[in-house]
Amino acid sequence: MSHKFYRDIVQAVRAGKLKEPFTISDLRAACPGWAYNTYSTFPNKHRVGNPGGNSELFIRVAPGKFKLVRPIKYGI
C-alpha cells in the first residue's frame, strides 16, 4: 500500500480539518471518498503495538480515538 489514505489524514491534521485525537466519524468527515470500512480498519491495523507487525502510524489514546505518531512517516 502506498499510504495514500495516511497522506490524506496527515494533510487534514495539518490543515486543521481533523483535530487530534480523532474518532472514526471525524476521519470520515475530514477525508471523504474512501471505502466505508477503511476508516475503522486502517487506524487499528496501523496503531502502535498492532499484532500484525504493520507500520505504526497511530497511537490509540482511547477506544475509537487516535492521534498521529510523531515524527510523521514517509516524508509526508
pTM score, whole prediction: 0.93
What is the total count of domains within the chain? 1
pLDDT for the residue 2: 52
**Alpha helix stretches (DSSP H) within the chain:** 4-14, 24-30, 38-45
DSSP secondary structure string for all residues of 45-62: HTBTT-TT-----EEEEE
Does residue 1 carry a pLDDT above 80?
A: no
Task: Give me the domain span that covers residue 60.
Answer: 4-68
Mind listing the pLDDT tens digit for each residue in 18-71? 999 999 999 999 999 999 999 999 999 999 999 999 999 999 999 999 999 999
Give the contacts of 32 (CB within 8 A, at least 6 positions apart): none
| Omega cis (within 30) before 71 | yes
- Phi, psi (deg, nearest 5) at residue 66: -135, 160
In a domain, 60, yes or no: yes
